[in-house]
Each structure stands twice: as C-alpha cells, then as structure tokens.
Structure 1
Amino acid sequence: MTHGRRLLLATVCTVAVATIYVAQPVLGQIGRDLGIPDSDLGWIVAAGQIGYVVGLAVVVPLGDLLDRRRLIAAQLLLAAISTLVVAFSSTSWMLLIGLAAMGLFAVAVQSAVAFAADLSTPNERGRTLGSVTSGVIIGILGARVAAGVLADLYGWRSVYLVLVLLLVALSIVVITCLPPDRVAVGTRYRDVWRSLGGLVREPLFLSRGFIAFFLFASFGALWSGLALPLAADPWRLSTGEIGLFGIAGLAGAIGAARAGRWADAGRARPVTGGALALLAVSWFALGQAGWSLWWVVIGVVVLDFAVQAVHVSNQSLLTAAHPDRTSSTIAGYMIFYSLGSGLGATTTTAMYSALGWTASAVLGAVFALCGLLVWGLGRRPFGPRASTMPGHRVREY
C-alpha cells in the first residue's frame, strides 16, 4: 500500500471521527445556548454514539458487497448534510437528531480501516492499521483543540460549519484518488449479516470486543467529563484552554503508533495486558484535577497511549483472523467500542454532577480494571491463527 493512500485513509478517519467528538470541549457552550442542564450534557455525546452503533450494524457491512471507494465518498457527503443540520439547530431535539445522523455516517471511519486492511499485504497489515488508526485518535483528540479555539473565537456553531467544508472536500478527493474496490458477486446483504451474527460465537471476537467495550468506556469517561472540572473552580479554564489538553492526548496516542508492528510480530497479548494496566494507573493522575493540572497532563498522555495500543492490537488480530470479511468484522468489533463510549459519556457526567470529579475518576479506573479482567480471563488458548508474518505462526491466548 502506498504512503499516499495510507495518508488519505488516515485523513478520512481523522475528519469523520471528529464529527462525533468535537462536541465534547464545547458542551458548556451548547448547553447554555440551548438550555440543556449539566446532568444531561452527556446525551449530546451519546446521541452521536447511538447513531454510530446503528451505522456500524447497517452501513459498514455494505463494504463487503460494494465498492468502498464510492461508499466512503457517499458517507462523507451524507455526514456533511447532517453536520449542517447540527450547525443550524435551534432546539435540543433538532441538535440530537442531527448528531445521531452524523454518527450514522461517521462510520466512514470503519469503512476506511477495513479498506486499508484489504489494500495491505499480510506482513504490513498491522503497520498500516497502526498508521490509519492513528488518524482516528488524531481526529478524536485534535478535534478538541480545534473546536475549543474556534468556539472561543466564533461560537460552537462555527465548529460544525468548518466540518461541513472539510467533509465535502474530502469526499471529492476520495473518489478521485483511491483505487476502485472489488465488488462481491453472488453475496447478498443478508449473507453478510449472517456472518456478522456468527462472530458472536467466536471466543477471540468476544474477548477483544469486551476489552474494547471497557477500554472506550474508560476513554469516554475522561473526554466527556474532563471539561467540567477544568471549567470549574479553581481553574475556570476557557473552552480553548480545555481543548489544548487534546495535544497531550495526541502525544500519547502517537507514541503508541508502533502497536501495529508489535501485533505483526506476535506480541498483541502482552501489549494488551500491559496497556490495560497503564490505563487503570492513569486514572490516579487524572483524579488529581482538583489541585494539579500537571498530573492531568501526565494522566492524559498515559491514558491515550494505552487506548491506542490496545485498539490497534485488537483490530490487527481480528482482520488477520477474518481477511475475507474485514468490513463485517470491524463493524461488529466497533459496536462494542461505540456502546462503551456511550456508557462512559453518560455515566461520567452524571457521576460528576452527583459526587464530583473524584468519583468520575474512580469510575474510569473501574472500567479499565474490567477490561483487564476480561483480558485475564482470556488466557485460555483460542487456538492457532495464521501469522501476519511469513514463516511462523502466532497464537492469541
């Protein structure tokens, strides 16, 4: 796979996933503008995640049937239309409907990840997924920085208007620069759905899926809730200043870019366990937000390093196990991701409203420890899998 195509697919991931996460640093502005109480702000993030779950189940499996180049371009255009609805929302219901529709078509991310896996040779698949998935983390975290700055200057609606322009431009580049994809012959949509349902009987898929569920519940607990204590006493940071914490997250996520190479070398299991342990430890630092911003920065770097390392390892293993149906496999896996993110978003804001940030930090650590428990229970061998490196075999257990 060429460097240019890898970069383009990473950019698709960056922009598409940003449509879901730009709301997080501007939750306060949106709430004040539309009269949404603090205890309900988590639903602004959860609406996008709900749409994302539906898109994963309904839209992404189409990638095993259709030309993914055209599918990705169409998803980006439809996401642009949904984003326009959000930008001009005058009521909370209009906002939530628009956000859910954005989530539905933001699954262009997973179509791009699956396409990247198929365009790669087996011995470079992990490295490619590491690079492309880095685009996802850059979008999730970089969106906070850009959204915070734009919202401070021009208000929260400007964030969504800029996204509309980016989505339209990117859809044109995709249809122009990516190669045509193969189209499945003789395969029906219900066949793809049947294969997706069959995944739930596989121990490897279930283990990695539940790890992703708790991994992104912990991730969502941080990034959906962190703006609240930072905007309160004693810090009273502006939206733009809160968004800058995304830079620390980017440093951690980029530091884990080699996770794909580790997976190619057969080290996915120890990397997963070590990263989940780091995730739990990071919440000790994050819990100090009431008196030290430096501890928060350290916690953000460690947390995002851990999340990226586990996420890339999960996807490398699953696409290697199912090279003939990467879209369906990624879609099923990401349903766990989206449900976990939604759980983290809604529970952390409710916990903060009731008991403060320390309780939210404990919640995030509990999610991380649950993921570590799932990893530990998966010590029983799932059986050999084909190695992504020629000449030897690797087992995931």
Structure 2
Amino acid sequence: MNPALDISQNKPLLWLMAIACGLCAGANYYCQPLIASIQQYYQVPESEVALTVTFAQVSYALGLLFIVPLGDMLNKTKLIPALMCGAALGLMLCATAVNLPMLWVGTIIAGLFSVAAQVLIPLAAMTVKPEKTGEVVGFLMSGLLVGILLSTSIAGLLSDLIHWKAIYVASSLAMFSLGLYLRGQLPTLPKFRINYSSIFRSMGSLLAEEPRLVLRSWTGAFAFASMSILFSTIALLLTQPPFNLADVMVGIVTMVGVFGALSTQVIGKWADRGYIRLLTWIGCSILAGSWLFLYFGKTSLISYILGYALINLGLAMVHSCNQNIIFRLRPDAKSRINSIYMTLYFIGGACGSAAGVYAWHHGGWSMSCLTGLGFAVAASFFALIDQLYQARAANAKS
C-alpha cells in the first residue's frame, strides 16, 4: 500500500465514497414501500409488483459476479463512474416506465450497474493500512446501509408528496452527478495483468483454496436472506389492517435500522482488535432473537419496530465481521474476493425476498417469521463451522 494513497486521512473523499455507496445500494430498494402505489398505478396483482424486489437483488447478484471482478482488471477510477452512470440510466428508465415490465427492465439495469459500491469498498481496502481495514470498510458500509434505509423513507415521502416515480428521477440525477465528480477524485491504483477469463478461473481457485471465504460467504448469505424477508413483506404487512400505514409511514418505520447501520464503523474497530468471534455470535443471536419481536409485530407496531431495529443490528455485526476476515485473505484479489462474497450474499437476499413472498401467500406472517428464523439458524451453523475450521487450522500450525 502506497502511503501517499492512504484515503483514511482524506475525510472528505471518504464521505463522498460513503454517499456513493449509499446511493448505489439504495437504488435497489426504492420499490419496497411503494408496492401498493405501484400496484394501483399499473393495475396488476400485488404479488407481481412484489417480484420487483427480487429482480433488483438477482440483477445485483449478477452484477457482483460478472462486473465487480473487473475491478482487479480495469482502472477503478474510470470503472466506478461508468457503473454509476449506467445505474442512473436504469433509474431514469424506471421513472419513465409505462408498464410493469418496463419498470422491471429499468430495475434490472440499475441493479446490474449499482454494484459500483462493491468496487469502491475494495478500492478503499487497498489504500489503507491493514490495521485500519475494518474501520474504513465499516465507515463505507455505514454509508451503504444508511443509504438503503434512507432510500425507503425518502421513496415513501416523495410518493406521498409528489408521485412514486419522483424518487427514481431524483436518484438518477444524483447518481449521475456524483459519478462524474468522483472520476476526478478517486485514487488511481495499478492494474493487475489478468484477462477476463482468467478472473473467473482465479475465482474458482479462491473458492478451492480459501475455505473461510466460502464459509463466511454462506454465513452472510443466510443472514441477509433472513433480513430480506422483510424487504418483500413490510409493505404487505404494514399497509393492511390493523396498521393501514401510508407509503411514507412504511418508509419511516425502516429508519430505526439506521442505528444498526451506523454501528458498522464501531464494529469494524472492535473486529480489528480481535473480537471477531464474539461479535459474530452476538450478531447471530440478535438476528435470531429479532424474529420473536417481529412475530408479535403482526399486531403490535412497537414490537415490529424493535424487531426491525434488532435484525438490522444483527446483520450489520455479522456482515462487518465477515468482510473483516475476507479482505485479509488475499491482498491482491480484493475485488474478486468481494465479488464471490457479495454474489452469494445477494443471492441469499434474493432467495429471502422470494421466500418471504411465498411464505406470506401460503402461511401468512407466522410462516414468514418461521422462515426468517430458519435462515438465521442456518447463518449460525456456518459461523460455527468456520469457527471449528479456524480452531483446527490453528492447532495444525502449532
């Protein structure tokens, strides 16, 4: 790492990168509080509109798999702004969509190119000292998670004040402007001499040679699947009796997750100090326990809000610990490692969203909660396997 490139000392640039991460991530979640409004606008079944969340996450996962690895091959300073402009184009297509399929196309384009955030994060990890990795990555993750949460609140607010399409117009313009500005601000790093086909062969090698990458990826995937059940069901639950909340109120409810999002920098600092195992288990426990509050949230808004806050905190802890581990595995392959991890992470999210819709329509809120708890238990299982593997590897060295 070239000390001259250490962005941990450049606070304005870190803030801009965190905002960019938030804009990119938030682009995939605007539809969550808007499902009822979109359904009324296009006059299509509610279940079809709910699939928009799944399309966003599937396309994001594809972008993670096929686009993010380019960060180890191309100039990140040019790649990141280009991706942000592509996402802005997708968002503008959503804003001008005349039917639901057109909205889906715009959502897919935005999802594919909004992976710019996942090129920004490895870039930051490559320009700081190892002992600062958790803190800086945690700061950018705070921006990313706050962006997701604010996106739903602002989407609901603009829907009530103007129109549900307003958020797509505003976000598109903001994404395009910030992408162009970052082009002249991001540090330039040397490119690795590797071609596109070699990238995927090397990713296969990473999966075979780094068991902790695999185990932590599955831990993150199931943890995010547990959380993502709420993404596709929150509007279905809160816009119906006994709550009957408007779009803006659904968005405001999600704001309690900001506390979990803002905790990622602190979690990163503690992870840097060697408390990864403890933080992982606390996170998994909170993740599972949150579903008890969410279950009673069927009739109690306070219980739902507490559960939503806790599940965000639990996910933030697990995810921060996962990234702290994987970014230390291969310093020369951070983009590819992040691609593998985040691809599985968002595949888990897409499966969670789809499972949430299925559970809702076949067993109601009780089935949705049981499914979410099952995903949380699965995340804990893979965290346990990772712990056992690490202990065995340590004993083998001694």
Equivalent position of 2:204 in the other structure: 197
Which whole-Å CA distance do the structure 1 matches of 2:260 and 2:60 have between them?
25
Equivalent of 2:175, from 167, 177, 181? 167
Equivalent of 1:103, from 74, 96, 111? 111
Q: 1:383 to 1:65 in 2, by over 3 A?
A: farther
The alpha-carbon deviation at position 65 of structure 1 amounts to: 1.2
Conserved 8 A contact 1:45-1:224: yes
Which whole-Å CA distance do the structure 2 matches of 1:361 and 1:174 have between them?
41
Equivalent position of 2:3 in the other structure: none
Conserved 8 A contact 1:141-1:246: yes
Conserved 8 A contact 1:10-1:136: yes
Equivalent position of 2:66 in the other structure: 58
Which whole-Å CA distance do the structure 2 matches of 1:366 and 1:59 have between them?
31
Equivalent position of 2:5 in the other structure: none
Conserved 8 A contact 1:254-1:305: no
Question: Higher helix fraction: Structure 1 or Structure 2?
Answer: 2
Counterpart mapping for 1:191-270 below 5 A? 191-201=198-208, 202-270=210-278
Which whole-Å CA distance do the structure 2 matches of 1:56 and 1:384 have between them?
31
TM-score normalised by structure 2 residue count? 0.93
Which whole-Å CA distance do the structure 2 matches of 1:35 and 1:197 have between them?
45
Which whole-Å CA distance do the structure 2 matches of 1:171 and 1:378 have between them?
38
Equivalent position of 1:388 in the other structure: none
Equivalent position of 1:281 in the other structure: 289
Question: What RMSD, in angstroms, separates the aligned Cα atoms of the two structures?
Answer: 1.8
Which whole-Å CA distance do the structure 2 matches of 1:257 and 1:295 have between them?
27
Which whole-Å CA distance do the structure 2 matches of 1:248 and 1:368 have between them?
20
Equivalent position of 2:4 in the other structure: none
Q: 1:229 to 1:126 in 2, by over 3 A?
A: same
Encode CA deviations 1:82-109: one digit per residue, 9 max, x unaligned.
1111111112221111111111001001
| Matched AA of 2:138 | G
The alpha-carbon deviation at position 256 of structure 1 amounts to: 4.1
Which whole-Å CA distance do the structure 1 matches of 2:40 and 2:106 have between them?
18
Equivalent position of 2:151 in the other structure: 143
Which whole-Å CA distance do the structure 1 matches of 2:283 and 2:391 have between them?
23
Conserved 8 A contact 1:257-1:308: no
Equivalent of 1:340, from 311, 335, 348? 348
Counterpart mapping for 1:1-397 below 5 A? 1-2=8-9, 3-184=11-192, 186-201=193-208, 202-382=210-390
Encode CA deviations 1:201-230: one digit per residue, 9 max, x unaligned.
221011111111101101110122112111
The alpha-carbon deviation at position 384 of structure 1 amounts to: 9.6
Conserved 8 A contact 2:32-2:234: no
SS state of the match for residue 27, structure 2?
A: helix
SS state of the match for residue 388, structure 2?
A: coil
Stretch of structure 1 that moved more, 367-376 or 193-202: 193-202
Which whole-Å CA distance do the structure 2 matches of 1:381 and 1:289 have between them?
38
Count of matched residue pairs: 387
Which whole-Å CA distance do the structure 2 matches of 1:375 and 1:36 have between them?
41
Which whole-Å CA distance do the structure 1 matches of 2:77 and 2:44 have between them?
39
| Matched AA of 1:362 | L
Stretch of structure 1 that moved more, 258-267 or 333-342: 258-267
Runs of 4+ in 1 over 6 A off after TM superposition: none
Which whole-Å CA distance do the structure 1 matches of 2:82 and 2:264 have between them?
31
| Matched AA of 2:281 | G
| Matched AA of 2:249 | E
Conserved 8 A contact 1:203-1:382: no
The alpha-carbon deviation at position 377 of structure 1 amounts to: 2.4
The alpha-carbon deviation at position 4 of structure 1 amounts to: 1.9
SS state of the match for residue 326, structure 2?
A: helix
Conserved 8 A contact 1:142-1:247: yes
| Matched AA of 1:321 | L
Conserved 8 A contact 1:114-1:330: yes
Conserved 8 A contact 1:53-1:335: yes
Conserved 8 A contact 2:277-2:387: no
Which whole-Å CA distance do the structure 2 matches of 1:235 and 1:8 have between them?
38
Which whole-Å CA distance do the structure 1 matches of 2:251 and 2:300 have between them?
17
Conserved 8 A contact 2:53-2:231: no
TM-score normalised by structure 1 residue count? 0.94
Conserved 8 A contact 1:229-1:289: no
The alpha-carbon deviation at position 261 of structure 1 amounts to: 1.2
Encode CA deviations 1:312-351: one digit per residue, 9 max, x unaligned.
1111110111111100000110011111111111111222
| Matched AA of 1:134 | S
| Matched AA of 2:290 | S
Encode CA deviations 1:112-136: one digit per residue, 9 max, x unaligned.
1111111111110110011011111
Task: List gaps (5 residues or longer) in structure 2.
Answer: 1-7
The alpha-carbon deviation at position 381 of structure 1 amounts to: 3.0
- Amino-acid identity (%): 29
SS state of the match for residue 106, structure 1?
A: helix
